[in-house]
């Protein structure tokens, strides 16, 4: 039985959900939107689950099949895509969570995306270039995209948020999703919030024919996953990337046993530097995205108390090992974006001679890459803080 046959069977046994009856005719598009998720790490698999649940509940608005591109691996001899499509579990990256049967794992990236109206990117930053090269010229030119990636693209020319990189490379409008979302908690349907940001593009084809903010709310909002849709794509993208640098520093404080006061001091200054970075280099960002949205202060908090980056920073402090070693020990092949983002941010700010305005980002770089003693973090922070 193919995945598609299986899906049809399952659709028959699913009772129409309560919300079906309240669909308003204005929400029904000419043709249901088809969503594809590119990526199947713990966050990619979780977002595929969220989206697939909504697609089942809104059959007139969304296509019932949600393709999920999976980087093919063999797990004890079996293909990961086959495991997902038969057992409905990503045993490697999201074990113990049942995925809806309409999530269909596809190993070919072009195949996974070719008919999609909405492509949701959710892969580690370092794989993006290769993925975009494969997709270039192969996606539906009317498609729209959402980036769940955390990171920045720094080059000699400047610094881009990844939504803009996707937009430019594929020629399709791209928004972003970011929030206080530790993947395992969302996967278990524990209540959380998130922020989706989307600019309606100049070539918007009209209601019922094209993705808009309301469609995105319907695609991502769940009773356990409260979505707020705003305009500020750069703001939530920057917040999502830069908070990982702060979380590395918060991890050092954890590992040193300095307590909650010290940790919140680091987070306070980190939030200020995130906002300062945005104001300097992305003047279109709104400060309130950082201070009021789930993608801002709330994501900073949850990331500094429970994410991968804080765990890596803590392990570095406790075991006196380099970041890459801590990453290998702790993350089961997944990546710690903060290590990479810290370097990108440092290089970008150094080129522009503004690194001194970012004492926390600077000392975090020096600790990870130059062996600066983390015990001296407070004095570096205090000196710098007075410059504002």
Q: Which residues are annotated as a binding site?
A: 39-44, 71, 127, 150, 183, 308-309, 337
Under rule CB under 8 A, residue 299 binds its own copies: yes
- For residues 84 and 7, give the distance between their C-alpha atoms in angstroms, rounded to a whole number: 13
Under rule CB under 8 A, residue 19 binds its own copies: no
- Catalytic sites, residue numbers: 243
| CB nearer its own copies, residue 30 or residue 388 | 388
Q: How many C-beta atoms surround the C-beta of residue 351 within 10 A?
A: 13
Interface mask toward its own copies for 225-244; x: CB under 8 A: -x-x----------------
Under rule CB under 8 A, residue 185 binds its own copies: yes
CB of 40 to its own copies, least distance (A): 21
Cα first-last separation, the chain? 64
- For residues 280 and 345, give the distance between their C-alpha atoms in angstroms, rounded to a whole number: 13
Burial status of residue 380 (CB atoms within 10 A of its CB: 0-12, 13-18, 19 or more)? middle
Which tokens sit at 240?
Answer: 């999502």
Strands (E), the chain: 35-38, 66-69, 74-75, 78-79, 103-106, 118-121, 144-147, 152-155, 158-161, 174-178, 192-197, 225-230
Under rule CB under 8 A, residue 264 binds its own copies: yes
Q: What element of type H or E holds 325?
A: helix 323-331
Under rule CB under 8 A, residue 247 binds its own copies: no
CB 85 within 8 A of CB 31: no
Under rule CB under 8 A, residue 180 binds its own copies: yes
Q: Candidates 52-60, 78-86, 178-186, 353-361 — which segment interacts with its own copies by CB under 8 A?
A: 178-186
Q: Which of residues 28-57 bind its own copies (CB under 8 A)?
A: none
CB of 250 to its own copies, least distance (A): 10
Binding-site positions for substrate: 150, 308-309
**DSSP letter, residue 295:** I
Q: Which residues bind its own copies (CB under 8 A)?
A: 180-182, 185-186, 190-193, 226, 228, 258-265, 267-268, 271-272, 291-294, 296-299, 301-302, 305-306, 378, 382, 385
């Amino acid at each position: 039985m193919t995945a598609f046959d299986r899906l049809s069977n399952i659709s028959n046994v699913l009772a129409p959900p309560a919300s079906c009856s309240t669909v308003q005719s204005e929400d029904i598009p000419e043709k249901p939107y088809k969503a594809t998720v590119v990526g199947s790490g713990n966050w990619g698999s979780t977002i595929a689950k969220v989206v697939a649940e909504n697609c089942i509940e809104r059959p007139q608005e969304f296509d019932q099949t949600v393709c999920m591109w999976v980087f093919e691996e063999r797990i004890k001899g079996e293909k990961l895509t086959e495991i997902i499509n038969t057992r409905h579990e990503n045993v490697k990256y999201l074990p113990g969570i049942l995925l809806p049967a309409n999530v269909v794992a596809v190993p070919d990236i072009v195949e996974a995306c070719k008919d999609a109206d909405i492509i949701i990117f959710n892969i580690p930053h370092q794989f993006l270039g290769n993925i975009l090269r494969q997709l270039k010229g192969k996606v539906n030119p009317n498609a729209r995209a959402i980036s769940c990636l955390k990171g920045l693209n720094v080059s000699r020319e400047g610094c881009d948020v990844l939504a803009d990189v996707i937009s430019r490379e594929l020629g399709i409008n791209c928004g972003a999703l970011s929030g206080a979302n530790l993947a395992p908690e969302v996967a278990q349907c524990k209540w959380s919030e998130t922020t989706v940001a989307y600019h309606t593009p100049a070539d918007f084809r009209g209601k019922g024919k094209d993705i808009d903010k309301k469609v995105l709310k319907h695609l991502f909002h769940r009773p356990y996953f409260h979505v707020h849709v705003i305009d500020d794509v750069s703001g939530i993208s920057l917040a999502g990337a830069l908070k990982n640098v702060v979380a590395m520093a918060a991890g050092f404080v954890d590992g040193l046993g300095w307590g909650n006061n010290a940790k919140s001091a680091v987070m306070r200054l980190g939030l200020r530097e995130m906002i300062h970075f945005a104001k300097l280099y992305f003047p279109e960002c709104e400060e309130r995205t950082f201070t009021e949205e789930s993608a801002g202060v709330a994501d900073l908090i949850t990331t500094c108390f429970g994410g991968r980056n804080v765990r890596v920073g803590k392990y570095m402090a406790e075991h006196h090992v380099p970041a890459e070693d801590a990453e290998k020990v702790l993350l089961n092949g997944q990546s710690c974006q903060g290590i990479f983002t810290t370097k990108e941010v440092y290089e970008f700010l150094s080129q522009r001679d503004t690194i001194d305005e970012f004492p926390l980002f600077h000392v975090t770089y020096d600790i990870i890459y130059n062996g600066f003693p983390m015990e001296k973090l407070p004095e570096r922070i205090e000196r710098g803080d007075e410059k504002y």
